[in-house]
Amino acid sequence: MTTAIDKIFWENSRRYGSRRVVEALKEQGVKAGRHWVRRLM
């Protein structure tokens, strides 16, 4: 899961926060909470 978060984060020039990352994950069909993503980031 951290690799998916890292990929989204770095593909967007490190400008995505946890909220945007969660939205991007939802578009990919991955269910994740914002606080959980924030902790992994």
Structure tokens, 34 = 């914002």
Tens-digit pLDDT profile for residues 3-28: 999 999 999 999 999 999 999 999 99
Nearest CA among 40, 5, 10 for reference residue 23: 5
Q: Which domain holds residue 10?
A: 2-40
Query: Three-state DSSP class for 1?
Result: coil
> Residue 25 has what pLDDT?
98
Q: How many domains does the chain have?
A: 1
For 29-36, what is the mean pLDDT? 97
> Residue 11 has what pLDDT?
97
Are 22 and 33 a contacting pair, CB within 8 Å?
yes
Interatomic CA distance for residues 28 and 8, integer angstroms:
11
What length is written for the chain? Answer: 41
> Residue 8 has what pLDDT?
97
Query: Three-state DSSP class for 16?
Result: coil
Question: Is the whole model's pTM more than 0.85, yes or no?
Answer: yes
